[in-house]
Structure 1
Amino acid sequence: MLQDGKLYLGTSRKPDDSINQGEYLDLGYANRHGLITGATGTGKTVTLQILAEAFSNAGVPVFCADVKGDLSGIAAIGEYKDFLEKRAKTIGLDPYEFQEFPVIFWDLFGERGHRVRTTLTEMGPLLLARLMDMTDAQEGVLNIAFKIADENGLALLDMKDLQAMLKYMSEHSKELTGIYGNISKQSIGAIQRDLLVLEQQGAEQFFGEPALKISDMMRTTPDGRGAISVLAADKLMMNPRLYGTFLLWLLSELFEELPEVGDPDKPRLVFFFDEAHLLFDEAPKILIERVEQVVRLIRSKGVGVYFVTQNPLDVPETVLSQLGNRIQHALRAYTPREQKAVKTAAETFRPNPEFDCFEAITQLGVGEALVSTLEAKGVPTVVQRTLIRPPSSRLGPLTDGERRDAMSHSPVAGLYDEDLDRDSAFEILKKRADDAAKAEEEQRRKEEDDEEELQESRRWTLPGFGDDDDDDDDYDDRGRKRSSRRRKPTRRRRSSRRQTVAEAAMKSAARTVATQLGRALVRGILGSLKKGL
């Protein structure tokens, strides 16, 4: 219900349970952020649902993280229930009409909604380094990795791109150190280990293409209603570092891309973060600082941020002080910490003399809350005990079939559902490494071939090798193969001095004749001597 630029939240009650007046949230102050708190089962999620409905009908796009799957029913028309009708009559909501709302489902894992991705380049080294709580040396190395990639046309899109770049830097650290400064292999190793932790939580699902355009979360329908983006966060919440990475990127993108608009008549976008205590538990310091910065400054860009959690102490004090619109459901005060939480919540409201806030918080029924919103000049209204109006859409989740049908008719159907893996740092560096290995192998084979040719040429030019008559020397007169050991080349006669068969025969005959002639001469001389004697 929209009345004079205000969203109807419910009807306040006096201490005697009589109906007082309607309670509204002024659209002009809706970008001053808000807080919805209360114990489990007190109606926080329904309050989130009716606010999302009201913003949508006012033409304001909404984003909400659905931790338990309850919010998906906002895409279906409401169903008649006795307690809803009773609530509507009690607060004077007439007529109470059911309605369905334009919803776009998102999911980082692509299982229960359209894929949500961004690239490492869009995340940037600064946010990534602070998210992983890197040392100065590690942050310096990460900045060098992004700079080298940028200078060499190596797009860093997904996790394998950054891992490939770090491996390249480790292998060429000596050459790169002289250009970019010290690149320690120990720092590279530490970054790789941090990235491994991020990968194990599913970061490879988040980093990649096609990257989400923020404008697709700020859509309006042809009839002027704002689209409600519902992020399936049940699985995501089990991976707190990945959820922190996503939130950090999303808030940073909004802060950087949206122009300053001052205080508009209504917000350009409203965020609801359900179960915010899961977000801030053990959150990196940079995330808390970034959320605080965004909460303080993004108001002027027309964006409202609303945290939904069990206890106001779950939200850091620096963030809590920026939340002007408050809806407080029942809290229990059994333990000292719970009593402190109730006291903190009570003290944040502008007091109402008709009742005590501390006692009222512990006595509120289901669907009842203390409400204080900002009015003229940003002054908070006096806190009122209010019955929250019933939702117009379905209470409870959609079936799987209904969710698939809603996704098939979504305005972003087909835009983000298929992975796009174009050539980036990983593919380019792998190709370069393969080409270098191939060239090295070809060079090695060429050198081996050249060496074999050289050895072959040397073998045929050594003395004693390559003669025709060497074959005869390999066997003895009985046909047995001689020893493979050859005579030393220095003791072998040159082939040019060897005799032919004919020459050997002639010399042999000459030696025989000479021997016989010599013997005859000797005998003749000796015979003549004897006769003379």
Structure 2
Amino acid sequence: MSADIDGKIFVGKSEKPEYLTLKLANRHGLATGATGTGKTVTLQTLAEGFSRAGVPVFAADIKGDLSGVAMPGEGQDWILKRCAEVGLDYVPDEFPVIFWDLFGEQGHPVRATISEMGPLLLARLMNLNEVQEGVLNVVFRIADEQGLLLLDLKDLRAMLAFVAENAARLTTTYGNVSTASIGAIQRALLVLENQGADKFFGEPALAISDLMRIDPRSGYGTINILAADKLMGSPQLYASFLLWLLSELFEELPELGDPDKPRIVFFFDEAHLLFDDAPKALLQKIEQVVRLIRSKGVGVYFVTQNPLDVPESVLAQLGNRVQHALRAFTPRDQKAVKAAADTFRPNPRLNTAQVITELGKGEALVSMLEGNGTPSIVERTLIAPPAGRVGPITPELRKVAIANSPVRGRYDETLDRESAYEMLAKRAAGDAPEEAPPAPGRGDTAAPAPTQADAAGGGGWISDVLGGLFGGGRTRGRMTIGEQVARQVTREVVNQATKAILRNVLGGRARATGAVSAPRATRASSAPSAGQSDDFAQIFNDFTGNTPTNRRK
């Protein structure tokens, strides 16, 4: 059963057939409507159309209803009636499906590493404030500079503990690192772990290529279904995963321009979770990805109840629209109806705002991009029924589909290779040298070279006296950056004070004995002036406490 024509997907029938043009499908889209108005069936119809065109699909299955697409449809009465209304001959069909599940229960496990997720999405996932997000960025920076892999939650927890232990010396390089902020992040990690995030973070990480498969037997694009019924209990994890997936596609796929059909299409159900309480920086990232990922050949379709759930900056990027019924029971609902009506290209034969509240189940206002990318006039449309089964499949059939999956065995076992947790454990045991962060503004500049006095075992009694003022005299073993700087300052002061003492002593002895071993001009130029002698003496006095009163005593 298909009324698709070359380069187009049959969506439904108004006064004429309504099509989604594949060449314009990467201009993204929006499907909205109240609960029970037929959004899920519309999503399945579009997903099947893309699959028949050889375009892989990724869809989040909130209620489990989409899983039926893996089995041939059944000629229920309402399906046969709708086929007659839109002019179709009903022919059941089945589609290649791969089931995924972040918790590994109803599909293949989906994993991402901590490093791939990045500090911005992690901060949103843990609901951190700006200060805590800044500390998290410091942790990622230190891990990167010291070659410590952040793969799973125990790696991040170990890295946070390392930063907390070394907060005093890291502050001079990276800014204030508060142990209170570290503690807050650790508590947020514990909450994530209780929600099952420890199963999501790790390896083997999901390869984007496994979402972009074409079935070799039928030529259909694979429909990837993410089991999200349990995931909805952790809405921040769900939203962060979807954003991570978009970001990975954006970074990995090369530029393609405007292809004849998309490389892959994403349907994000309950899209409002992506934007609820999202900070400005994250909203800007979403807008940027949605705007630019089109040229990668990726189409993104948001599915939500209310068009007001999507920020205007993102809404402006969504060219293909399917609007199911909205109920105007509250002032916000009335505002949503007006907003939805205003986004369509007007039809002089329809009162769009009124029709939105009158639509029946399986009806929608449809406006698709056509021609040179302009939206078509909005039409009241009967949506075509799916060819696959409508509704969920049984757990037994799901297990059979997972067992016969082309990625079977690739993600089922967790891989735990050496990373930050193991490397920091070795350092604590003394098996590996600890790397100090670079000094501020010096990059990887080495510590000051030792002087001859250092090589001989120390800088003499003056160095010991002055070094004691910095808290320790001669240094044994590894020094921190602050200690290295203090020691260098000490050397400079010792050198200046020593020269001042010698010049005073030698100058005084020469004047007392009347020595004239050098020409007058040479002595005049080399001997320190009274002002210089007083300056050096003052330096020495300031550091040793040798005031004139003390000397007289």
Bin for the TM-score computed over the shorter chain: 0.7 to 0.9
Q: CA deviation at 1:133?
A: 5.6
Assess if the C-alpha contact under 8 Å between 2:125 and 2:237 holds in 1. no
> What letter matches 2:406 in structure 1?
P
1:155 aligns with 2:149: yes
Q: CA deviation at 1:310?
A: 1.3
Assess if the C-alpha contact under 8 Å between 2:346 and 2:378 holds in 1. yes
Aligned mates of 2:135, 2:272 — CA distance in 1:
33
1:196 aligns with 2:190: yes
1:417 aligns with 2:419: no
Residue 37 (structure 1) aligns with = 32
Residue 473 (structure 1) aligns with = none
Aligned mates of 1:140, 1:338 — CA distance in 2:
39
Match of 1:224 among 219, 223, 239: 219
Assess if the C-alpha contact under 8 Å between 1:131 and 1:287 holds in 2. no
Mean Cα deviation higher: 161-170 or 107-116: 161-170
Aligned mates of 1:141, 1:339 — CA distance in 2:
44
Q: How does 1:117-136 map to 2 (within 5 A)?
A: 117-129=111-123, 132=126, 134=128
Mean Cα deviation higher: 59-68 or 175-184: 175-184
Residues 121 and 64 (structure 1), Cα distance of their counterparts in 2 relative to 1, 3 Å cut: same
Q: CA deviation at 1:407?
A: 0.6
Aligned mates of 1:132, 1:212 — CA distance in 2:
22
Q: How does 1:35-74 map to 2 (within 5 A)?
A: 35-74=30-69
Aligned mates of 1:290, 1:136 — CA distance in 2:
17
Q: CA deviation at 1:280?
A: 3.0
Aligned mates of 1:41, 1:53 — CA distance in 2:
21
1:146 aligns with 2:148: no
Q: CA deviation at 1:197?
A: 3.2
Aligned mates of 2:160, 2:309 — CA distance in 1:
38
Aligned mates of 1:376, 1:57 — CA distance in 2:
22
1:166 aligns with 2:147: no
Aligned mates of 2:134, 2:275 — CA distance in 1:
27
Aligned mates of 1:75, 1:287 — CA distance in 2:
35
1:321 aligns with 2:316: yes
Q: How far does the alpha carbon of each residue in 1:415-457 deviate from its partner, in whole angstroms, 9 at most, with x for none?
A: 1111111121112222433458xxxxxxxxxxxxxxxxxxxxx
Residue 245 (structure 1) aligns with = 240
Residue 205 (structure 2) aligns with = 211
Mean Cα deviation higher: 189-198 or 225-234: 189-198
Q: CA deviation at 1:180?
A: 5.0
Match of 1:400 among 385, 395, 408: 395
Aligned mates of 1:111, 1:31 — CA distance in 2:
32
> What letter matches 2:211 in structure 1?
M
Q: How does 1:444-455 map to 2 (within 5 A)?
A: none
1:11 aligns with 2:6: no
Assess if the C-alpha contact under 8 Å between 1:49 and 1:391 holds in 2. yes
1:235 aligns with 2:250: no
Residues 148 and 7 (structure 1), Cα distance of their counterparts in 2 relative to 1, 3 Å cut: same
Q: How far does the alpha carbon of each residue in 1:35-61 deviate from its partner, in whole angstroms, 9 at most, with x for none?
A: 111111111100000000000000111
Aligned mates of 1:381, 1:86 — CA distance in 2:
27
Assess if the C-alpha contact under 8 Å between 1:331 and 1:362 holds in 2. yes
Assess if the C-alpha contact under 8 Å between 2:124 and 2:278 holds in 1. no
> What letter matches 1:419 in structure 2?
T
1:376 aligns with 2:371: yes
Assess if the C-alpha contact under 8 Å between 1:131 and 1:245 holds in 2. yes
Residue 390 (structure 1) aligns with = 385
Q: CA deviation at 1:131?
A: 5.1
Assess if the C-alpha contact under 8 Å between 1:65 and 1:273 holds in 2. yes
Mean Cα deviation higher: 194-203 or 129-138: 129-138
Q: CA deviation at 1:184?
A: 3.1
Residues 350 and 137 (structure 1), Cα distance of their counterparts in 2 relative to 1, 3 Å cut: closer
Match of 1:115 among 102, 109, 116: 109
What is the SS of the residue equivalent to 1:330? coil
Residue 277 (structure 1) aligns with = 272
Match of 2:83 among 76, 79, 88: 88
> What letter matches 1:70 in structure 2?
D
Aligned mates of 2:233, 2:284 — CA distance in 1:
22
Assess if the C-alpha contact under 8 Å between 1:333 and 1:342 holds in 2. yes
Q: How far does the alpha carbon of each residue in 1:20-47 deviate from its partner, in whole angstroms, 9 at most, with x for none?
A: 2111000011111111111111111000
Structure 1, unaligned runs of 5 or more: 13-19, 437-533
Assess if the C-alpha contact under 8 Å between 1:118 and 1:206 holds in 2. yes
Q: CA deviation at 1:107?
A: 0.6
Aligned mates of 1:286, 1:174 — CA distance in 2:
30
Assess if the C-alpha contact under 8 Å between 1:237 and 1:278 holds in 2. no
Q: CA deviation at 1:122?
A: 1.6
Q: How does 1:489-528 map to 2 (within 5 A)?
A: none
Assess if the C-alpha contact under 8 Å between 1:131 and 1:286 holds in 2. no
Assess if the C-alpha contact under 8 Å between 1:33 and 1:324 holds in 2. yes
Residue 260 (structure 2) aligns with = 265
Aligned mates of 1:218, 1:201 — CA distance in 2:
29
Residues 265 and 195 (structure 1), Cα distance of their counterparts in 2 relative to 1, 3 Å cut: same
Assess if the C-alpha contact under 8 Å between 1:244 and 1:283 holds in 2. no
Residues 125 and 329 (structure 1), Cα distance of their counterparts in 2 relative to 1, 3 Å cut: closer
Aligned mates of 2:327, 2:119 — CA distance in 1:
44
Residues 192 and 260 (structure 1), Cα distance of their counterparts in 2 relative to 1, 3 Å cut: same
Mean Cα deviation higher: 50-59 or 268-277: 268-277
Residues 163 and 368 (structure 1), Cα distance of their counterparts in 2 relative to 1, 3 Å cut: same
What is the SS of the residue equivalent to 1:124? helix
> What letter matches 2:268 in structure 1?
F
> What letter matches 1:52 in structure 2?
A
Residue 351 (structure 1) aligns with = 346
Mean Cα deviation higher: 195-204 or 55-64: 195-204
Q: CA deviation at 1:218?
A: 1.1
Q: CA deviation at 1:135?
A: 5.3
> What letter matches 1:383 in structure 2?
V
What is the SS of the residue equivalent to 2:369? coil
What is the SS of the residue equivalent to 1:8? strand
Q: How does 1:428-443 map to 2 (within 5 A)?
A: 428-434=423-429
Residue 256 (structure 1) aligns with = 251
**TM-score using structure 1 length:** 0.77
What is the SS of the residue equivalent to 2:10? strand
Q: How far does the alpha carbon of each residue in 1:349-368 deviate from its partner, in whole angstroms, 9 at most, with x for none?
A: 11112221122111111111
What is the SS of the residue equivalent to 2:16? strand
Q: CA deviation at 1:132?
A: 4.4
What is the SS of the residue equivalent to 2:321? strand
1:361 aligns with 2:363: no
Residues 296 and 273 (structure 1), Cα distance of their counterparts in 2 relative to 1, 3 Å cut: same
> What letter matches 1:3 in structure 2?
I
Aligned mates of 1:177, 1:278 — CA distance in 2:
36
Q: CA deviation at 1:110?
A: 0.5
Aligned pair count reads 429
Assess if the C-alpha contact under 8 Å between 1:201 and 1:241 holds in 2. no
